[in-house]
Amino acid sequence: MILLRTMKLKKVIIPSFLLLSVLASCKSYKEQEDELPDSRNRGTINVSADETFKPIIDEQVQVYESNHPGTRIIVDYKPEAECLRDLFVDSVRMLIVTRRASEEEKIFLADSLRVSAKSMVIARDGISVIIHPDSPDTIFTMNEIKEILTGRFKKNLIPVFDGVKATSTVRFIIDSILRGDSLTSDAMAARTSDGVVDFVSKNPGVIGFIGVGWIGNPEDSSQLSFLKKVKVAHLESTDVKGSYVKAYQANIYLKRYPMVRDLVYILKERHRGLGTGFANFMSGELGQIIFRRAYLAPAFKNLSIRPVKLNE
């Protein structure tokens, strides 16, 4: 009888100890977050970003850090190909480029760094075509743009890029415009996008290709100064034959402009840290407003399109 009572007592006591052990191991969300190396509210991360988007990403970082004073986001701006090489550098937490991580890259990351890569389109950008202020040619069909890029245009206009091999602009031109054709050997390169603007402004025989983020915002004083130095060309619309448009925000949003590309973040972190916080910020309400104010087309915020009389 005594043995039976002891066994019954053990059946009661053992679960009680297990329950107390579970309760002791439970921690609040704040306690769990404090144990992480960084969070959305504190810490430092390194980001590699396509140089084309520097004005916009600088503003995103500035606003995020001001709203989260304990954070520091260190952005290294470089050509897209160099950013993509950083995909396999463990110390770089995020990339901001114009394409998602491929399946092969995701598999390699999982195998080598034991981390999964998440990517998302956060905005859309257009590649603007800029010309010397005295140039008589201000409108181009896409066939004429291709002729310029391959060196077969009736006039000797030399294309200028922010680099001729490793940039997202050149990759877009080769993949989406040339489609197997070869870029002219006369193509020239400036070190940066503002270098393209400066070179075009001083040389009538060249034509520049840069991201709209450098010249598309009429409220930015530096971009206004660029627009005083060059003219922005009209390109053949994708929807109405004989219609020509500039890389304005509405035309990018509606994809009426023929050279539109995505802006994508690739996030690779092992915990929900500062990288996740910054990614959520850019895709959230305030981050999308910043993209809209920079005259890109935000991916998650609808634009109000109102008809105007100008054929822009």
In a domain, 26, yes or no: no
Residue 153 sits in the same domain as residue 138: yes
* Per-residue confidence (pLDDT) for residue 13, from 0 to 100: 47
Residue 94 sits in the same domain as residue 138: no
In a domain, 188, yes or no: yes
Residue 41 sits in the same domain as residue 114: yes
* Per-residue confidence (pLDDT) for residue 307, from 0 to 100: 52
The domain in which residue 236 lies consists of 125-260
Residue 145 sits in the same domain as residue 228: yes
* Per-residue confidence (pLDDT) for residue 312, from 0 to 100: 47
Residue 149 sits in the same domain as residue 246: yes
Residue 223 sits in the same domain as residue 287: no
Residue 235 sits in the same domain as residue 151: yes
* Per-residue confidence (pLDDT) for residue 118, from 0 to 100: 94
**Final residue of a structural domain among 260, 275, 307:** 260
Residue 118 sits in the same domain as residue 43: yes
In a domain, 63, yes or no: yes
**Does the model's pTM come out above 0.95?**
no
Please name every residue paired with 140 in a beta bridge, in sequence order, or none if there are none: 235
Q: Which long-range contacts (CB under 8 A, 24 or more apart) does 250-256 make?
A: 250/303, 250/305, 251/126, 251/312, 252/124, 252/125, 252/126, 252/212, 252/296, 252/297, 253/124, 253/297, 253/303, 253/305, 254/305
Here the CATH number for the domain that contains residue 72 is 3.40.190.10
Residue 132 sits in the same domain as residue 246: yes
- Count how many domains the chain has: 2
Which positions of the chain have pLDDT values less than 50?
2-4, 6-14, 19-20, 23-24, 308-312
